[in-house]
Amino acid sequence: MNFKKINIPLYIIAALLFGLKTYIVYRFMFNIDLENSMQELILFINPFVSAFLVFAISVWFKKRSRQMKYIRYMMLLGTLIIFANLVFHRSFTDFITIPQLFQANNMADLGSSILTLIKPYDILLFADAVLIWMLSKEKENVMAVNYPKSGKVFAAALSLALLAGNFFLAEMERPQLFTRGFDREYLVKNIGLFNYHIYDIVINTKTQSQKVFADGNELPEIEAYVKENVRSSEKSDLYGVAEDKNVIFIWAESVQSFVINNDVNGEEITPFLNSLTEDEDTYYFENFYHQTEQGKTSDSEFLVENSLYPLSRGAAFFTHGQNEYHGLSEMIKEKDYQSAVFHANNKSFWNRDQMYNSLGVDHFYGEEAYEITAENSVGWGLKDKPFFEQSIKYLQSMEEPYYAKFITLTNHFPFELDEEDKSIEPYDSNSNTLNNFFPTVRYMDESIELFFNQLKDAGIYEDSIIVIMGDHNGISANHNRSMAQYMDKDEITPYDYVQLQRVPFFIHIPGHGEGEIKSEIAGQIDVKPTLLHMLGIETTHDFYFGNDLFHDDRKGFIALRNGDFISEAYVQASGICYDRETGEPLPAENDEEQQSEEESGTPSACDSISEQVDQELTYSDDIVYGDLFRFVDFDSDNN
């Protein structure tokens, strides 16, 4: 290649190329939602601002060779950061955080999942890095710069001025942007991917220091909030209904409520779970939401065990596995229950072996407890049918009463299934993920039905209550176009996407005869107090943010980890307040003052609930980051 006529400094070329590439990834691969022209402008300029800031540092190197080396290695490093976030975003519609980098030992178990997320055209991301590498080698003498000190200072000052301008526009567009770090897409959209990562490092450092400086003085304020807004002094109608019964809890991997009582290609997707919605011994909660974040299944376990919110960054199972907790598994020992978790996966995945000790789980049956072969496994491991079949003998050996949790695997991204296990055909859309989702959901539905029969044959069924819960969503926002096709909609709005976060929740009580479909809003945060009360265990001295699902006196909203929420009247999604019944955005109440979303954050109809949601999330974070339960004696009447 002939570079003889190129005289522009290499750091300028690198900044322009890298900024353009980053913008293209933002706009067409991250598919970041843009609501107005200001957001369009900010999204366009922030990658160039970040790129200029990084590459302009090279002018401070006196030696040409060091300038060139710095530029080419920063170009490669920046490209790898973009690529890693892109692959992560394709699975989770989110951006990598520092705590997740400490979960890298999970990567060995991801296998084909990661390969599915890498596209052949991703290699084009490295094209400009290759070009810069060649230019730095062949045109070092021409493209290196030797500015006087004043020129270097000017380059640095210009970089910082551009950054300040970017932040000024971002603050105009989204006031208090840095105090609402729950929504990472807003941060990337307004300040850029690389500035977001710097922000994430700062926040991670701050949160790591919280435990060091915590002394327990934070607890009275949290206790007062829980007592006033969450706890109820009266018992629900189902208090004690499951006393001395076994609790069998099935974690239904990645199942969302839209499959219940629905079909694909003219076939029922979940015939057995459908039948439970009409069963007289079953309570089915049709407006039950998962509340997980980056920890996914481990977050759902954290919610159920503690009735605390998961962290907004990383997974508490990893980052705070050694904390003191007062979880469900520990509290049921008061009624002489033993607890066990069944999951045919590596015990170190999500740091379960350590976290279960902190939660007071008595037994963990991991992959070493099962006979796993090439024939009975697919995707992430042991298929659900042999998983349940091989688990029965362990249940029969346990001393009653017990709390046994079963975490399934087959209905897991990328939703692989052998042909002989498919009972229905895949869907036909441009998303293989959504297409293959339906056959694996049906397989799991069949496995749960078989498990019910196995419990009956083993003589366990009548003395147990059986809980089934979808742990998190399986279809991310990356597949919204195909979901819109399946749901016969023009598009999936933010309101629609929040509704898709509903997951099935069943409580099956053999012989109860009073089951029904319950329509009140509910979430995973509510499971712990509900089960404890059903077992006849008081929660007077506990810290929790959920409500007994069978109690009428409830706080009236379900908070999502990103700060959105669902109440009986409203849904807040992506900063927009919707009427929950119609799904229509609510206008600003005072049109004369032009109280728009840009000026006030959200319309005032949602403001009061939004403030309480933020408060709860903050209190929960304070408990986890500060490890505050180490200062609490839960056995005492006076905490």
What lies within 8 Å, CB to CB, of 441 at 6+ separation is: 255, 259, 269, 270, 411
- Which segments within 509-564 are labelled E, that is strand? 517-518, 522-523, 557-559
| Angstrom distance (rounded) from CA 86 to CA 380 | 22
Catalytic residues: 297
| Angstrom distance (rounded) from CA 452 to CA 517 | 20
Q: Which residues of 404-434 are buried (b: 16+ CB within 10 A; e: fewer)?
A: bbbbbbbbbbbbbbeeebeebebbebebebb
507: three-class secondary structure by DSSP = strand
For residue 95, the number of C-alpha atoms closer than 13 Å in the C-beta half-sphere is 26
* Residue reference for tokens 């029965």: 392
What lies within 8 Å, CB to CB, of 435 at 6+ separation is: 426, 427, 428, 429, 482
Which 3-state string (H, E, C) describes 200-224?
HHHHHHHHHHHHHHCCCCCHHHHHH
Element containing residue 469 per DSSP (H, E) = strand 464-470
Cβ neighbour number for residue 172 with a 10 Å cutoff: 13
What lies within 8 Å, CB to CB, of 616 at 6+ separation is: 225, 309, 545, 559
For the record, the structure tokens of 295 come out as 């920890």
308: three-class secondary structure by DSSP = coil
Which 3-state string (H, E, C) describes 329-365?
HHHHHHHCCEEEEECCCCCCHHHHHHHHHHHCCCEEE
The alpha helices in 214-252, defined as continuous H runs, are: 219-229
| Angstrom distance (rounded) from CA 504 to CA 259 | 9
If you compute the radius of gyration of the chain from its CA atoms, what whole number of angstroms results?
Answer: 26
What lies within 8 Å, CB to CB, of 31 at 6+ separation is: 478
For the record, the structure tokens of 239 come out as 């208090």
| Angstrom distance (rounded) from CA 591 to CA 155 | 45
For the record, the structure tokens of 453 come out as 């029969």
- Contact call for residues 416 and 378 (beta carbons, < 8 A): yes
Pairing relationship of beta strands 517-518 and 282-285 according to DSSP bridges: parallel
| Angstrom distance (rounded) from CA 446 to CA 453 | 11
Q: Which residues pair with 517 in a beta bridge?
A: 284
DSSP class of residue 306 equals: H
Distances 571 to 575, 578, 585, 599, 606 between C-alpha atoms, Å = 10, 5, 9, 19, 8
For the record, the structure tokens of 93 come out as 């519609």
- Contact call for residues 187 and 43 (beta carbons, < 8 A): no
Q: Which residues pair with 288 in a beta bridge?
A: 522
For the record, the structure tokens of 529 come out as 């107090």
156: three-class secondary structure by DSSP = helix
